[in-house]
Amino acid sequence: MVKQLFAALSVLITVTAAAQQKRPNILIIISDDHAFQTISAYGSKLTSTPGIDRIAREGIRFNKAYVTNSICGPSRAVLLTGRYSHKNGFRDNVSGRFDSSQHTFIKDLTGSGYQTAWIGKWHLESAPEGFSFWKVLPGQGAYFNPDFIKMDNSRERIEGYATTIIEDMAESWLDQRDTSRPFCLVIGHKATHRTWMPDIADLHRFDTVNFPLPANFYDRYEGRKAAALQDMTIDKTMLMDYDLKIFASAEEAGKQASIQRMTPAQKQAYGTYYGALQQDLEKRRLSGNALVEWKYQRYMRDYLSTAASLDRNIERALAYLDKHQLAENTLVVYLSDQGFYMGEHGWFDKRFMYEESFRTPLLMRWPGKIQAGRVDSSLVMNLDLAPTFLELSGLPVSSQIQGRSMLPLLTKAGSKGRKNLYYHYYESGEHAVSPHFGISDGRYKLIRFYKRVEAWELFDLHADPSEMKNLYAQKKYAKITRKLKAQLLKLAEKYEDAEAIALLKKG
């Protein structure tokens, strides 16, 4: 009898373990400020991104993926909760602190038997909750010799380059996991956040490349009051020392926290490289547009060199899955926390509901489930990822979640995405960007600015993809404007955005 009982228990444990492992693993790679227009899978000619391109080639590329709030911390909060910023409580990076006790898709996965981990950039102020394991950068973190906060709240400094270290740590966690259980791992990269500090090996990568200026680099912002008020231009806002590492002297360089934490060898490599650039700039005696365009070239080279390590380590993550026979049963997701300006409108940074900031790269691979090489132009949002992960794991989706599962788009031909996108940016400080909310149906976009600037903007993305001509108040577009305003109010009510509802009813 005892032997029979033990035999039955053994079978039950084996069957349960097998059932657990049949559920797909989930690998989420989230970068910071990585512009879709710098990814070759999205048609970029600026650089080559073979790691990300492999995900596109073997899976699906979403051409119209967007964020609910284009700023770092709030975007991660939306990813975790599947709820808009006004619902999850993390509206901006100035006053925001994520309430980690609230419901997240990770807690559901952990509770159902998944091993879960977040490694790398977290940027949510509070300590992670609900994970089997976590090890995160404090705040924005550092590119060189970064500190990490561990689960016992102690800190550890690791020598090396952050992007490579984060991938090393992710692989180490995978090596030690319980292979009888599925996993959900989030790899949070610091790259490509300001300030852009390439790995030593990538410093010279784009030295001989001259990047073309965006057509609207010298945008004058006619008819767009909020755009005219911002403080995020390469011309006036981008700093020679802080951003571009061009210092008046070695002593001045040594005062920068990012340089101070370097090893002597790292300092020497940076000093030699950027010192030569500083000397060359002095000889040129540039001014006016010539100096602005020099800054643009330096920005592009530093940014894309920083992104090179990101892509290289994405290749490493995919190679790890191959080596350990995990690729077939793992959904791989790559996204950025939002888009970024690469000189469009003369800018860097994000925040605005304009396409370069609003739109994010999003690619997924799931062999046997997602057809290889697919391109999907459905409207989707980062809000939709949490319910997607729950549904593919066989778990119920909480009524608190405001996103809609993308699983049908991944696995069923003819499935449709959203009809409209709803956006709300709240912060009224950094870069002097006015808070705003709006709606986009893929062609027309209506934006309501408030606080710093009280204004409306309407764009026809088919006729004006660079969003240079504000059509609001033109008689020809009165009917479209009324329709979009009505839809915008419905969405604000659907998502229970009280602040937006009040402003819309005010006029």
pLDDT of 192-214, one tens digit each? Answer: 999 999 999 999 999 999 999 99
Q: What pLDDT does 413 receive?
A: 79
Q: Give the span between the Cα atoms of 467 and 222, in whole angstroms.
A: 11
CA distance to 410, 437, 452, 505, per residue, from 69 (Å): 24, 9, 18, 22
Q: What pLDDT does 14 receive?
A: 37
Q: Give the span between the Cα atoms of 348 and 196, in whole angstroms.
A: 12
Buried b (16+ CB within 10 A) or exposed e, 287-326: eeeeebbbbbebbbbbbbbbbbbbbbbbbbbbebbeeeeb
Q: What pLDDT does 6 receive?
A: 44
Q: Rounded mean pLDDT of the chain? A: 95
Domain boundary among 274, 298, 322: 298
pLDDT of 44-65, one tens digit each? Answer: 999 999 999 999 999 999 999 9
Q: How many domains does the chain have?
A: 2
Q: The dihedral of CA 316, 322, 323, 325: what is its sign?
A: positive
Band of pLDDT at residue 20, cut at 50, 70 and 90: low
Question: Does 264 fall in a domain?
Answer: yes
Q: Is the pLDDT of residue 11 over 80?
A: no
Q: What pLDDT does 429 receive?
A: 84
Q: What pLDDT does 414 receive?
A: 83
Q: Give the span between the Cα atoms of 344 and 494, in whole angstroms.
A: 33
Checking DSSP bridges between strand 374-376 and strand 362-365, what pairing results, if any? unpaired
Q: Is the pLDDT of residue 503 over 70?
A: yes
Q: What pLDDT does 5 receive?
A: 44
Find all residues with CB under 8 Å of 501, minimum gap 6, and list them: 489, 492, 493
Q: What pLDDT does 21 receive?
A: 55
Q: What pLDDT does 250 receive?
A: 87
Overall average pLDDT of the 133-147 stretch: 97
**Domain hosting residue 239, numbered range:** 202-298
Domain boundary among 268, 298, 328: 298
Q: What pLDDT does 97 receive?
A: 86
195: preceding bond cis by omega (within 30 degrees): yes
Overall average pLDDT of the 351-371 stretch: 97
Checking DSSP bridges between strand 155-157 and strand 147-149, what pairing results, if any? antiparallel
Q: Give the span between the Cα atoms of 346 and 174, in whole angstroms.
A: 42
Burial class (CB in 10 A: 0-12, 13-18, 19+), 331: buried
Residue 155 CA, distance from chain mean position = 25
Overall average pLDDT of the 420-428 stretch: 96
H or E element at residue 65: strand 65-66
pLDDT of 214-262, one tens digit each? Answer: 999 999 999 999 999 999 999 999 999 999 999 998 899 999 999 999 9
Q: Give the span between the Cα atoms of 469 and 441, in whole angstroms.
A: 18
Q: Is the pLDDT of residue 16 over 50?
A: no
Band of pLDDT at residue 434, cut at 50, 70 and 90: very high
Question: Does 285 fall in a domain?
Answer: yes
- In three-state secondary structure terms, 183 is strand
Domain boundary among 253, 273, 298: 298
Q: Give the span between the Cα atoms of 34 and 474, in whole angstroms.
A: 35
Q: Is the pLDDT of residue 270 over 70?
A: yes
192: preceding bond cis by omega (within 30 degrees): yes
Q: What pLDDT does 8 receive?
A: 39
Whole-structure pTM value: 0.95
- CA atoms within 13 Å, Cβ hemisphere of 152: 3
Per-residue tokens: 253 = 């360089």
Q: What pLDDT does 208 receive?
A: 97
pLDDT of 392-404, one tens digit each? Answer: 999 999 999 999 9
Other Cβ atoms within 10 Å of 395 Cβ, number:
17
Q: What pLDDT does 22 receive?
A: 87
Residue tagged 């964020």 (tokens):
67
Question: Does 259 fall in a domain?
Answer: yes
Question: Does 147 fall in a domain?
Answer: no
Q: 75, 65 in Cβ contact below 8 A?
A: no
Q: Is the pLDDT of residue 27 over 90?
A: yes
Give the gyration radius of the chain's Cα atoms. Answer: 23
Q: Is the pLDDT of residue 15 over 80?
A: no
Question: Does 6 fall in a domain?
Answer: no
Percent residues over pLDDT 90 in the chain: 92
Q: Give the span between the Cα atoms of 286 and 304, in whole angstroms.
A: 24
- CATH code at position 456: 3.30.1120.10
Residue tagged 């700023």 (tokens):
71
Please tell me the least confidently modeled range out of 9-23, 193-207, 262-276, 367-381: 9-23
CA distance to 151, 160, 166, 170, per residue, from 155 (Å): 9, 16, 15, 17
Q: 488, 438 in Cβ contact below 8 A?
A: yes
Question: Does 36 fall in a domain?
Answer: no
Q: Is the pLDDT of residue 39 over 60?
A: yes
The side-by-side arrangement of strands in the sheet containing 155-157 is 155-157, 147-149, 133-137, 115-121, 183-188, 25-31, 330-336, 362-365, 60-62, 374-376
Question: Does 9 fall in a domain?
Answer: no
